[in-house]
Structure 1
Amino acid sequence: MAGEGKYGILHVPEFDGGMSSFLRIGATADDDHTWRDHTDGNRITTTRGDKVEVIGGTYSMKVLGRRQFEASTEVEDGRVKEGGITFYGKSDIDFVQGPRGQRRIREATVKGEVHTTFHGDATEFHYGSRLESVTGDENAPSPIKDYPEVMTENPTVVDRTWAKSIASYTGSAKLPVPSISRETWAKEMVSKTRVKTTTDETTVEGASRSSMKAGSISSSTTVEGTMEDATEADIIKNTTKASKIISETRADTKDEMYGDADSYTKGNSKTVVDGLETTINLGMVNEVVLGAMVEATVGAEATLSVGGTATVTIGLEASVSVTATLEGSVGPSLEMAPAVQQLFLNLTKTAPVRTNIAAVHLMV
């Protein structure tokens, strides 16, 4: 024996063409290894109790497995690198420098198919400068079966959730998210929601813009109870451009308007009332017709004016009444026109005095 310390060497003779196994404990003067265990054949190690291995240097293990895949594990400076069929390449863990100069551990893993099942609570916390999730590849070839050498393939994504309750929060009143951007590109989108009650609240401090472009839009709303729609704004602008607008309402309607109303129609206008129409004006009525005016009444007509009534007609006015006409005026009535032609099937005059003054026809 040479050198200091105790050591032992166990030599096993070769078997059948070069197969050798040996176990060396300790070291010789010309050997730096303090432990060497070499096996060329099969090896089975059984540990009945606890086993602790403390390695001060680099640890490396490579398993060929008699297949085209190679599995290996390497531990160096606290970093673990793994490679094998389950990782499709490798799993590297090393140290990187964080955004504030601190030392962090980084893990890079490439895997094949993974099935994970959790029986119990699961909690995830992410703290860092970036969190990114990518599914599929925009440049993946299609059909994928024609490109066997390409490993990337766009999957079918199915997300199913059954839960007692679901709560999702993005930002908070104390720390809101500075900017949120969402984009969806799809050839067809189907959305279905069935709930007992729903509440949707949106508060926008600045401007709100909404835009939609579609070949056709079909919207249907069915409400069993009362449908309420309330809008409060300083100014409301509504612009509609279409070749034709068809509106149909089957219900008793009640409209209330508080404020001035201004309506302009460029084109022909026709109003048909199949039933009784009552118009009450509490104030002055000004009617100006620039052009021809034709009024036809088939049935009884009663006009009651309480207050002043001024009618100015510039052009031809024709009034035809095929029935009895009753007009009552509690106040003066003034009509001015170049010429007034009145046709009556049965003329009954109730006014005691009729005075013609040039083109002015004054009836009291």
Structure 2
Amino acid sequence: MDSTAYMDKLTDDLLVAIISYLPFKYAARCKYVDKRFEALISHHPFCAKPITLLFHFSSQSPKIFYNIPLNPPPMITLGPEVTLPLIASISDSCLGLILLQFPHHKLLCVSNPLTKAYHIFPYPTDFVAHAELETDTVTGWSSCGHPHAGLIVNSTTTFKCPNQYKVVAIGERINEFWQVQYEFHIFSPSTNSWKKLCTSSPYRNSKLLDGQGPPIYLEGSGCLHWLRAYGDIVAVDTHKESCRIISKPRDLEFGSTPKLGVSQGRMVLISALKQDIVIRDLYDYENNRWRVRTRIPTIATPMNNDYWNGIPVSFDHERLLFQIRACREDGEIHAYDMSTNVWTKMGLVDRKMDCIQVFVPYVPTFAKVSTIVGNVKLPDKIIESISELNNLVSVSLGAYGW
């Protein structure tokens, strides 16, 4: 029996187990063996745990990005950083792709930092037109000149075919009764164009939270979710082309730094309070039913100003990541182990901290993107910024032996 016939008899789970013993930079080369190996190596769970990373940026330093390893190798306590030549933000990350915004140029970019491929396209035309209205007009947009945007990636085809993703942009405006309405647009790379999905019903006026991090995508629901300042959640269904409001928990104490996330397939809402950190999960998605999942004693202490010095970073069923910050000081990243109930210090985010800290999770994969630049004139600094972020990922992955 030749080696090819022998490998064909091995199950996918056994192949992944065998390849996992290789350093990843060598294991990654196995994807060139055939399409089966490529799909296995590229698939998200294969590399997620040891090399999950977090991008981080802040409102006071919008050009400075950090890449924070969640499972750092020994002796690494501070992730690498980069200063971009212009202001940019990371709106979302999904299955190895990141969604960038360049607000001063009204451009979006879907990029794979691992393969260095990217697709650049402009904001929705309708949004740009409304954003240029006078800010004091009742019907004007109120999203500070840039849309909230999220990324949806098709997990079944993205490692086989390029451009298996969609971008959803949401804008807010106030009607004559001072109620908020949302307009949704979806970008398809297959047509390289935007489509307006819908305009929502009027809701109680409450802004989408700035600085909350990326929107949450629940694969089972097919919806993207944004947290509002009131504590409820906007859910956008791209299949039904509709949206709804998910009610906040009745007993919600919001805190000053709430965080929306996903754990074990359920949406979770994290509230950092004075005495503890409360984690609730949406156990009944259709009927908007929440429950308190756990309470964790906080290690943060209140500061003598208008916000707390603890920021929830991320949560899964194994641990909570939490940033301890203070004015004009560095920010420490701590992890709470759910099995041992013990806090440990993971590392440090350097430089001055401020009240808006944005953390975006990132897991490197070989998800395919075709490098495309639409009918837009690109400043050199945009290409340079994309390259700098790619290099930031490369430096971080190098610490893992890539």
Pair in the same fold by TM > 0.5:
no
Q: Please give the range of the TM-score, normalised by the shorter of the 2 chains.
A: under 0.3
Higher relative contact order (CA 8 A, sep 6+): 2
What TM-score, normalized by structure 2, do the two folds share? Answer: 0.14
Q: Which has the higher helix share?
A: 2
Higher strand share: 2
For normalisation by structure 1, the TM-score amounts to 0.16
